[in-house]
């Protein structure tokens, strides 16, 4: 699906979409518990992949939609495997979801038999060697059929626990996967994570684990990005009810759209949580946007009509890599230069996001330079309409649509339908807020 976007403003009030990251974690942990209810989950391409993976390992998962006031409320009801997942009857497909791939590679190590997990062409390029090495050191047998750490991945045997040292610079998902699986191992696990990236995502995992009755001890080693974890084995999960909070990652596109189009917008259901991407509020404020966050009410308001224009900043995004496409678009229309650093690991997402952000924003007249670990962007007042390509990356698709709102003329974002992976109602929400977007 292509999106033809005209220069336009947005205005109004909207409820933030549910968190994809929390939904993944809740489903995975519920699949290992007894009986769970997940309230207000995100149902998207990625989380559907996690639901299907849970079913492959023996969990019963039912999605219920009920009326609530004037709208609908979604729930996921899970009859879990109580820590003993079945050996799957068939190959597990994680589709395009890196989270599903990494989480269920580790969870499959709790099966008595063997499991094979793979995904689409993009996912089959993503690296997993550090996770496979750690699982082997913790008692299971895990390997890539191609021998290079990429899917398809075969996992045999049952995790026993022990000690492992893991390179966590590529993805914090490796650590989250181990933290979910290791409490169900027979013995305690001691994990040393070197150069851990995206620490807030690890904290989101421990937050859901705590709600399921399992606490993980961890500490940062000095001033480095190395972390030590002690995970008690022989535990069980009891995640009876988990309410999914609003998603700051997805909401960042809405907030950015209001900021760059001089619009007024209220986004509800954005309460404080472990989400590192709540930093979008701080960054917008630093760039000069008129924004305020009522944490008690969970409302973020942007008043673009009072803005005197955005300004460039220097920002390290190591802990918030998913915000980089949004920040790059804000930087493109800000006065002065913006330097984004600390995100070399963005090259190992659905695409090489540093490379493709540079390519596509250049088409819109942005002076942008790709660096080894970030971007250098010279802002300009008006962007140029162009035909741009999402590279079938959901975050690039949404970011380019936001950029197009400030361009003169019609910008066509090709293959924009991949936004469904993390924010299925993105275009519906944008249209309801007044954006001039035609889908074909």
The pLDDT score that the predictor gives to residue 74 is 87
In the predicted model, is pLDDT for residue 98 greater than 90? yes
pLDDT at 143 over 80: yes
How far apart are alpha carbons 236 and 258 in whole angstroms?
A: 45
Go through 121-142 and write b for each residue having 16 or more CB atoms within 10 A of its CB, e for each that does not. Answer: ebbbebbbbbbbbbbbebbbeb
Write down the pLDDT at residue 157.
Answer: 85
Which pLDDT does position 349 carry in this prediction? Answer: 87
Task: Check residue 210 and give its pLDDT.
Answer: 98
Residues 245-263, mean pLDDT to the nearest whole number: 96
Question: Which ranges of 83-141 would DSSP assign to H, the alpha helix?
Answer: 98-108, 129-137
Question: Quick one: pLDDT at residue 103?
Answer: 98
How high is the pLDDT of residue 304?
Answer: 79
Q: Is 69's pLDDT higher than 80?
A: no
Per the prediction, the chain carries an average pLDDT of: 95
36 phi, psi to nearest 5 deg: -135, 155
Do residues 334 and 406 touch, judged by C-beta distance below 8 A? no
Model confidence at 72, pLDDT cuts 50, 70, 90, reads: low
Give the model's confidence band at 307: pLDDT under 50 very low, under 70 low, under 90 confident, else very high.
Answer: low
End-to-end CA distance of the chain: 6
Task: Indicate if the pLDDT at residue 174 is higher than 70.
Answer: yes
Helix (H, G, I), strand (E, B) or coil at 309: coil
- Pairing state of beta strands 407-408 and 383-384? parallel
The predicted structure's pLDDT at residue 233: 98
Work out the pLDDT band at 433, boundaries 50, 70, 90.
very high
Q: Is the pLDDT of residue 10 over 60?
A: yes
Q: How far apart are CA 171 and CA 102, in angstroms?
A: 10
Write out pLDDT tens, residues 216-237.
Answer: 999 999 888 999 999 999 999 9
Q: How many residues does the chain have?
A: 440
CA angle 414, 420, 426 (to 5 degrees): 85
Residue 382: the pLDDT is: 85
Q: Reduce the secondary structure of 339-357 to three states and give it as a string.
A: EEECCHHHHHCCCCHHHHH
- CA 256 and chain centroid, separation: 18
| Position 422 pLDDT exceeds 90 | yes
10 Å Cβ neighbour count for 69? Answer: 6
The domains of the chain, with CATH numbers, are: 3-17+246-439 (3.65.10.10), 20-243 (3.65.10.10)
Q: Is the pLDDT confidence value at 311 over 60?
A: yes
pTM summary value: 0.92
Q: Would you say residue 66 has pLDDT above 90?
A: no
Helix (H, G, I), strand (E, B), or coil: what is residue 376? Answer: strand
Dist. CA 196–CA 171, nearest whole Å? 8
d(CA 104, CA 98): 10
Q: 70 pLDDT exceeds 60? A: no
Joined together, the tokens standing for residue 16 give: 């933030």
Q: What is the DSSP string of 269-284?
A: -----S-GGGHHHHHH
DSSP per residue over 139-162, as a string? T-EEEETTSSSPSSEEEES----E
Q: Which are the catalytic amino acids?
A: 322
Rounded to whole angstroms, how far apart are CA atoms 396 and 391?
Answer: 8
Phi, psi for residue 61 in degrees, rounded to 5: -125, 125
**How big is the chain by its Cα radius of gyration, in Å?**
21
Contact 219, 227 (CB under 8 A): yes
């Amino acid at each position: 699906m292509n999106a033809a976007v005209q220069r336009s403003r947005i205005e109004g009030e909207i409820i933030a979409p549910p968190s994809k990251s929390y939904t993944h974690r809740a489903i995975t942990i519920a699949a290992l518990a007894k009986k769970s209810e997940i309230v207000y989950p995100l149902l998207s391409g990625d989380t559907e992949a996690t639901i299907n993976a849970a079913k492959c390992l023996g969990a019963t998962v039912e999605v219920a939609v009920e009326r609530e006031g004037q709208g609908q409320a979604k729930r996921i009801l899970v009859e879990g495997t109580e820590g003993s997942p079945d050996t799957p009857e068939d190959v597990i497909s994680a589709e395009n979801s890196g989270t599903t791939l990494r989480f269920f590679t580790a969870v499959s190590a709790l099966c008595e038999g063997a499991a094979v997990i793979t995904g689409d062409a993009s996912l089959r390029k993503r690296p997993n060697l550090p996770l496979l090495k750690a699982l082997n050191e913790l008692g299971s047998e895990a390997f890539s059929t191609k021998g290079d750490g990429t899917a398809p991945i075969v996992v045999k045997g049952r995790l026993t626990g022990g000690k492992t040292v893991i390179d966590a610079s590529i993805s914090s998902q490796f650590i989250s996967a181990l933290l979910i699986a290791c409490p169900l191992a027979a013995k305690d696990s001691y994990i040393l994570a070197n150069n851990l990236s995206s620490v807030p995502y690890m904290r989101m995992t421990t937050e859901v684990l705590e709600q399921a009755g399992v606490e993980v001890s961890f500490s940062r080693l000095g001033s480095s990005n190395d972390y030590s974890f002690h995970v008690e084995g022989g535990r069980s999960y009891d995640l009876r009810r988990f309410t999914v909070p609003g998603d700051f990652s997805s909401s960042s596109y809405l907030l950015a759209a209001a900021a760059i189009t001089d619009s007024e917008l209220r986004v509800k259901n954005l309460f404080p949580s472990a989400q590192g991407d709540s930093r979008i509020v701080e960054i917008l404020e630093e760039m000069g946007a008129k924004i305020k966050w009522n944490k008690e009410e969970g409302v973020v308001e942007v008043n673009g009509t009072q803005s005197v224009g955005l300004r460039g900043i220097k920002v390290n995004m190591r802990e918030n890599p998913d915000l980089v496409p949004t920040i790059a678009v804000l930087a493109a229309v800000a006065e002065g230069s913006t330097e984004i650093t600390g995100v070399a690991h963005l090259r190992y997402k659905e695409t090489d996001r540093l490379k493709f952000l540079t390519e596509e924003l250049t088409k819109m007249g942005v002076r942008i330079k790709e660096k080894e670990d970030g971007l250098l962007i010279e802002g300009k007042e008006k962007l140029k309409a162009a035909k741009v390509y999402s590279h079938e990356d959901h975050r690039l698709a949404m970011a380019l649509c936001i950029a197009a709102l400030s361009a003169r003329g019609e910008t066509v974002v090709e293959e924009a339908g991949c936004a469904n992976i993390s924010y299925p109602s993105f275009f519906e929400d944008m249209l309801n807020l007044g954006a001039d977007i035609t889908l074909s």
